Homo-oligomer: A and B are copies of this chain.
């Protein structure tokens, strides 16, 4: 297996495992809410005033998915939609008090996960950690570049 393949596999399974762990905890602490609901609440909480298209881009899903999910969250009283006078086409969202409550519970959970994994960061060489972040950033930059240049013939 090449370095690259190893890298990819490690990355993939790492996230799979995190999701497995996190999901179990979510089930327990936020049982009334589906994972995707919480995820969307989190994104809106962190990106106040984002419209459907921006949320879709940020969450790497389609606008259709966001449209449906926000509709559901509105129905459940967790977010509100609003529009601007300048632009009657775009739709923006904010958390309601109930949504804010869910948001904060989830944030607390996130901090617990951070605690759970802190030992990995603490016991590693700080230079190795910094190098890892730097490498991931370089890789991300490369892919951003690739995404902007979508094949020949466009």
Which residues from chain A sit less than 8 Å from chain B, CB to CB? 2-8, 10-21, 24, 60, 114, 116-121, 123-125, 127-129, 131-140, 142-144, 146-147, 150-151
5 contacting pairs across A/B (C-beta < 8 A): A3-B129, A5-B114, A12-B15, A16-B60, A132-B132
Of the candidates B11, B13, B131, B150, which one forms a contact with A14 in the assembled complex, judged by CB atoms under 8 Å apart? Answer: B11
- The smallest C-beta distance from A59 to any residue of chain B, in angstroms, reads 9
- Chain B residues closer than 8 Å to A146, beta-carbon distance: 21, 116
- What is the CA–CA distance of A121 and B142 in the complex, to the nearest angstrom? 11
Cross-chain contact B137 with A4 (CB below 8 angstroms): no
- Chain B residues closer than 8 Å to A17, beta-carbon distance: 60, 140, 143-144, 147
| Minimal Cβ-Cβ distance residue in B for A18 | B143
Cross-chain contact B136 with A60 (CB below 8 angstroms): no
Interface residue SS majority, chain A:
helix
- The smallest C-beta distance from A21 to any residue of chain B, in angstroms, reads 6
**With A131-B131, A136-B7 as contacts: A147 and B20 at CB distance below 8 Å:** yes
Of the candidates B3, B118, B142, which one forms a contact with A133 in the assembled complex, judged by CB atoms under 8 Å apart? Answer: B3
- What is the CA–CA distance of A4 and B136 in the complex, to the nearest angstrom? 13
Of the candidates B8, B10, B133, which one forms a contact with A140 in the assembled complex, judged by CB atoms under 8 Å apart? Answer: B10
- What is the CA–CA distance of A20 and B136 in the complex, to the nearest angstrom? 17
